[in-house]
């Protein structure tokens, strides 16, 4: 794993006991709503919804919350007016950032994202200036004893799922695949009893900017963390490739 993915993995390990549950539930609820809106309320016919439900249950999200989000997505509790928004930006060190949001208020979200970026000495970019650097991939994060590269490779091969890359770091593994493989991969993992700790269609950088300066890295990481903490933000990705020594310094400061 490289760049922001490595930092995300470090945070993921550290955050198991002190995760901000309210924000996690809010983000998962929006994913449940969007998955239902796009593919229907029947989990058996909607792999994205099944995966979202499994992820919600993995963090002990109450069943009432899950059911309410699905009903909102299906329009049973009034129309779920959520708009998918994307913002492109540059941070310190020339790092490119993509911010994906689900929002019920475009103006509020734009103002919050702009404020965080400019406060961190970054700047918003015009449409297309950054997006071309990233490719959409299906991504699954696996924890525990089955977070093993060989085990997961064998599983995907046996299920005849098109996978591009599987990497493992201690007890956390990441699977990257073409977006169109999301449903097949979700079903293959489900059939093997594996509940992903995280999953979705994400953006992966084509090229990366190496960060060796700790002060620059701190600015970039602080911005990425602040954006991820925003209620309307569903995903943040950058093309930062943090040097291992810098990652160790950042982890020591946490």
Structural domains present in the chain: 4-73 (1.10.10.200), 83-133+207-253 (3.30.70.980), 134-205 (3.30.70.980)
Q: pLDDT tens digits, residue range 128-152?
A: 999 999 998 998 999 888 889 999 9
Q: pLDDT tens digits, residue range 3-14?
A: 445 545 545 444
* Those residues with Cβ within 8 angstroms of residue 104's Cβ, 6 or more apart along the chain or in another chain: 81, 82, 83
Torsion of CA 188, 193, 198, 199, to 10 degrees: 20
Q: What pTM value is reported for the model? A: 0.74
pLDDT of 92 reads 92
Q: Nearest Cα to 208, choosing from 1, 3, 10?
A: 3
Burial of 211 (0-12, 13-18, 19+ CB in 10 A): buried
Helix (H) or strand (E) holding 238, with range, is strand 233-238
- Categorize the per-residue pLDDT at 244 as very low, low, confident or very high, splitting at 50, 70 and 90: confident
* CB-based contact 241:211 (threshold 8 Å): yes
On the question of pLDDT at 75 being above 50, the answer is: yes
């Amino acid at each position: 794993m490289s760049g922001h993915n490595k930092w995300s993995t470090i945070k993921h390990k550290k955050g198991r006991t002190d995760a901000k549950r309210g924000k996690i539930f809010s983000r998962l609820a929006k994913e449940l709503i969007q998955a239902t809106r796009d593919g229907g309320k029947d989990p058996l016919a909607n792999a994205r919804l099944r995966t979202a439900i499994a992820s919600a249950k993995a963090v002990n999200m109450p069943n009432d919350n899950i059911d309410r989000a699905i009903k909102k997505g299906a329009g049973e509790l009034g129309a779920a007016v959520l708009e998918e928004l994307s913002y492109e930006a540059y941070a310190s060190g020339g790092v490119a950032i993509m911010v994906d949001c689900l929002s019920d208020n475009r103006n509020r979200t734009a103002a919050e994202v702009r404020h965080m970026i400019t406060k961190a000495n970054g700047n918003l970019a015009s449409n297309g200036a950054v997006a071309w650097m990233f490719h959409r991939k299906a991504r699954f994060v696996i924890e525990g004893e089955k977070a093993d590269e060989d085990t997961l490779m064998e599983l995907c091969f046996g299920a005849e799922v098109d996978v591009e890359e599987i990497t493992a770091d201690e007890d956390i593994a990441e699977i990257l695949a073409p977006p169109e493989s999301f449903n097949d991969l979700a079903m293959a993992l489900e059939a093997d009893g594996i509940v992903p700790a995280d999953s979705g269609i994400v953006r992966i950088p084509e090229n990366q900017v190496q960060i060796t300066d700790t002060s620059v890295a701190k600015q970039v990481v602080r911005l990425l963390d602040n954006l991820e903490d925003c209620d309307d933000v569903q995903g943040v990705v950058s093309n930062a490739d943090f040097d291992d020594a810098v990652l160790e310094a950042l982890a020591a400061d946490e």
